[in-house]
Structure 1
Amino acid sequence: MNDDETSVGVGRPPTGRRQVGIKLLWIGVWLAFMSAPVKDLIDGNHPAWATALGTFGLVVFVGAYLVLVLRQTAKALDRRLVHSTIAFLGALAAVLSLTLGTAWLVLFVYVSVSVGATMPLRTARWLIPAVTAVLVAIGLTGNHSREIITALVFPALLGGFAMTGVRQLIRTTVQLREARATVAQLAANEERLRLARDLHDLLGHSLSLITLKSELAGRMLPDHPEQAAAQVADIEQVSRQALVDVRGAVTGYRRPTLPGELAGARTALAAAGIAADIPAEAPDGLPEKPEEVLAWALREAVTNVVRHSEARHCTVTLAPRQTLDGRVLELTVTDDGVGAAGTKPGNGLTGITERLATVDGTLTTRSGGIGAGSASGSGKGFTLTLSVPLDSGLGSAE
């Protein structure tokens, strides 16, 4: 089962029944503090009519509270709705506390939490203490135990201000997610513009020349067939060269790069539920061919981890190293899976080896990955190490 189907991300509304259930369960845990008024009703300390009204009031209070908390706090709610609902919760908490006794003072804690979850910080920072002050005032007016009042002051303040922090965290997470989506969209737009520009530069002149020569050959064909044949030959030459240019451009677009494959590996492992430790960037100034070989190898190695390893964690390291034969760039992919997965024929290691041979690179594999050297001695996991020689111009890579 995909983790996305069971987990509700920060700042994301639930998208299915299962996620709604998980969010309700998470919120419902905090409703355990409602046990005091529930017990007060069950104990029969009040007349039947008071018990009935108290039960109705408690159900209405919980319903209004859940309406506020279940709403996506990442988006601004209607201000009038928030103000009226919180005012209603406060008034209902006051009425129930004044009429039914000490056990109902806990409702003010939920009013404080609602303020922190829905109000802007500039409003919440004075309204939360105000709600707590009302709690204390009502507690002191009646025959309530001061120990109970004191015990509720701290949860009211802490719960309210903690929710302001959670709300700000959710908003920040949503803004960051939106910013990443915007950056990705801008990058895609820039790539499309670059592709359009390159194709125009590659084909615009060639197709214009082919059109002109075709028209010229058509006019020459009746009276000057030899000259028309020369124009047709030129058309063939220009079209062949245009085809070569387009193939070269397409090859360049399709060539994998290490930064792109690192990002792809991060996405693939996350989608498979595998915790990943992957470098944020690739070294600068890599020669084109070694970078392409390592990029293909990284893609194949991560694919093997996702499909065959049953791993929970994968680590990718990428760093230059000095050897007796010169400087090399070393790529290591390590997992804590079943071990030796990927050593059988047909898993892509042959293709990696063939590509490495074109740049005089080396490939080593061993059983035992993350945690293999621990006291448990399980020996599970798999480690794949590739190294390619570098030109002397990689001074910026270190």
Structure 2
Amino acid sequence: MSMPVHSAASCGRQGPFAAAFHRLFRPDPESLLGQLRSPLYLRWQAGLQLFSIIALVKFPMDKGFDRYWLAATLLSLVPYLLCYVRMYIRPVRQMSMHAAGLVLTALALAPFNQGAVIYLIAAGVTMALHPSWRAWIGTVIAASAAAAAAVVLAGAPESMLVAVPLASLLGGFSNLIYMRGVRRDAELRLSQEEVRRLATLAERERIGRDLHDLLGHTLSLVALKSELARKLALRDPGLAQREMEEVERVARHALAEVRAAVTGMRRGDLAAELLSARLMLEASGIVFACDGCDSLDLPHAIEAPLALVLREAVTNIHRHARATEARIDISNAQGELRMRISDNGCGGLAAHGNGVSGMRERVRALGGTLAIDSPPRKGTTITVAVPVAAPMPAAVGRDARPQPIGSAA
């Protein structure tokens, strides 16, 4: 029992330092990492670009060791790292200020170390991540002017006049293209979430209206007849009993109508999932096609699990397949429903992953089979085959209205 107590105490002693470190490097919600939900590519780029610091040592070492340039370089690393990291984790509106800090640091270091060109290039390349391309071009111009000042005033090599603008433009252009794609995907994701939210809200309102139309009159009738039966209970017990029997018949009829309405609501599971799949894939730039998806009339016991299987398969295409086309084919013949989900992505889908195992269990519970064909770099095809019972006669189908108990009397 003493070890957990000791560990908790140790964590308590380290807590304030860890909390301060977390606060110092936690991305602001309005920063690049915060707005884009901290994409992995952007974090790797920020980390790898720090290796350019090696040039700060290589350039002056070619001319020999000197304690003056070493001291100046070590001192410059503090404002450089501070400004560079804050370009990613502080609000985007402050990026220009931090880029200016990098340019000033480079000007201060230029008389001691020619590697100061790295700071200028870092400012120009990183500012390409800014939402405004004008801010990036302005930074490139400022960095080029600083390079010219270093050449004239500090005797820096004239190659800086070409290296700074060229590297800033080439490296920054790739960042600009990448960020346009990332922001477009973020906007599509937000619009898709908004579409889903509005669809959910509309469905809730529709259900509310249906329930009001379905139960409003019935419950009012139940309330009136119950009140009448209460008043007749002492004066005419027989009439009161007949009123309560009528209340019972109305209540049972309302219960049957509610069950029929709920069953009708559930029938749209697979159709709704197909619509959601179209929204998700097309928002991701994947061409979507569907055959046999318009005439679906399945029992809920089969439709709901198949909707979950479809959702998992489409999610895999969206997240992992890197596909440009996806297709769903559904057929129902000879008592068997077949659903084929295919894409032209990278393939190599693991046959025993958690998602695939869940799909296989759902299909197996329906007495069906699930086959996966996913050769590397040749796309993935998932085929589901499920036995379907023969459709019910029209007399007891979904169009038949339930009859209240006692109506035949």
Separation in structure 2 between the aligned mates of residue 194 and residue 179 of structure 1, nearest angstrom: 22
- Paired letter, 1:28: G
Q: 2:210 aligns with which of 164, 184, 198?
A: 198
Q: 1:285 aligns with which of 285, 294, 299?
A: 294
Are the aligned partners of 1:54 and 1:96 in contact in 2 as well (CA < 8 Å)?
yes
Q: 2:329 aligns with which of 301, 319, 326?
A: 319
Paired position in structure 2 for 1:48:
67
Are the aligned partners of 1:125 and 1:161 in contact in 2 as well (CA < 8 Å)?
no
Are the aligned partners of 2:86 and 2:98 in contact in 1 as well (CA < 8 Å)?
no
- Paired letter, 1:90: V
Q: Secondary structure at the match of 2:235?
A: coil
Separation in structure 1 between the aligned mates of residue 182 and residue 95 of structure 2, nearest angstrom: 18
- 1:84 counterpart = 2:93: no
Are the aligned partners of 2:370 and 2:382 in contact in 1 as well (CA < 8 Å)?
yes
- Paired letter, 1:55: L
Deviation at 1:68, TM superposition (A): 0.8
Q: Deviations over 1:119-164 (max 9, x none)?
A: 6223323442342243245335554444464344321222233333
Are the aligned partners of 1:117 and 1:164 in contact in 2 as well (CA < 8 Å)?
yes
- 1:258 counterpart = 2:283: no
Are the aligned partners of 2:329 and 2:340 in contact in 1 as well (CA < 8 Å)?
no
- Paired letter, 2:222: I
- Paired letter, 1:299: L
Paired position in structure 1 for 2:403:
none
Give the percent of matched residue pairs that are identical in Structure 1 and Structure 2. 25
- 1:112 counterpart = 2:124: yes
Paired position in structure 1 for 2:248:
236
Superposed, which structure 2 residues align to 1:1-398 within 5 Å?
Answer: 11-13=36-38, 25-40=44-59, 45=64, 47-71=66-90, 77=92, 79=93, 81-97=94-110, 99-118=111-130, 120-139=132-151, 143-147=155-159, 149-255=161-267, 257-262=269-274, 283=292, 285-289=294-298, 293=302, 296-297=305-306, 299=308, 317-319=327-329, 330-332=338-340, 336-338=349-351, 347-349=361-363, 351-353=365-367, 369-371=373-375, 383-385=383-385
Distance 1:262 1:118, change over 3 A: same
- Paired letter, 2:126: S
Q: Secondary structure at the match of 2:49?
A: helix
Q: Secondary structure at the match of 1:222?
A: helix
Are the aligned partners of 2:363 and 2:386 in contact in 1 as well (CA < 8 Å)?
no
Paired position in structure 2 for 1:396:
none
Separation in structure 1 between the aligned mates of residue 309 and residue 293 of structure 2, nearest angstrom: 22
Deviation at 1:236, TM superposition (A): 0.8
- Paired letter, 1:318: I
Are the aligned partners of 1:297 and 1:352 in contact in 2 as well (CA < 8 Å)?
no
Distance 1:121 1:302, change over 3 A: closer
Separation in structure 2 between the aligned mates of residue 218 and residue 224 of structure 1, nearest angstrom: 10
- Paired letter, 2:204: R
Separation in structure 2 between the aligned mates of residue 176 and residue 333 of structure 1, nearest angstrom: 23
Are the aligned partners of 2:96 and 2:139 in contact in 1 as well (CA < 8 Å)?
no
- Paired letter, 2:84: Y
Separation in structure 2 between the aligned mates of residue 24 and residue 179 of structure 1, nearest angstrom: 25
- Paired letter, 2:107: A
- Paired letter, 1:332: R
Gaps of at least 5 residues in structure 1 are 1-7, 268-276, 307-311, 354-362, 375-379, 392-398
Q: Deviations over 1:351-375 (max 9, x none)?
A: 534xxxxxxxxx6766x62239x9x
- Paired letter, 2:308: R
Distance 1:25 1:184, change over 3 A: same
Q: Secondary structure at the match of 2:234?
A: coil
Q: Secondary structure at the match of 2:329?
A: strand
Deviation at 1:118, TM superposition (A): 3.4
Separation in structure 1 between the aligned mates of residue 227 and residue 55 of structure 2, nearest angstrom: 93
Gaps of at least 5 residues in structure 2 are 1-32, 280-285, 343-347, 392-409
Distance 1:252 1:67, change over 3 A: same
Separation in structure 2 between the aligned mates of residue 284 and residue 194 of structure 1, nearest angstrom: 23
TM-score by length of 1: 0.66
Distance 1:278 1:9, change over 3 A: farther
Distance 1:316 1:135, change over 3 A: closer
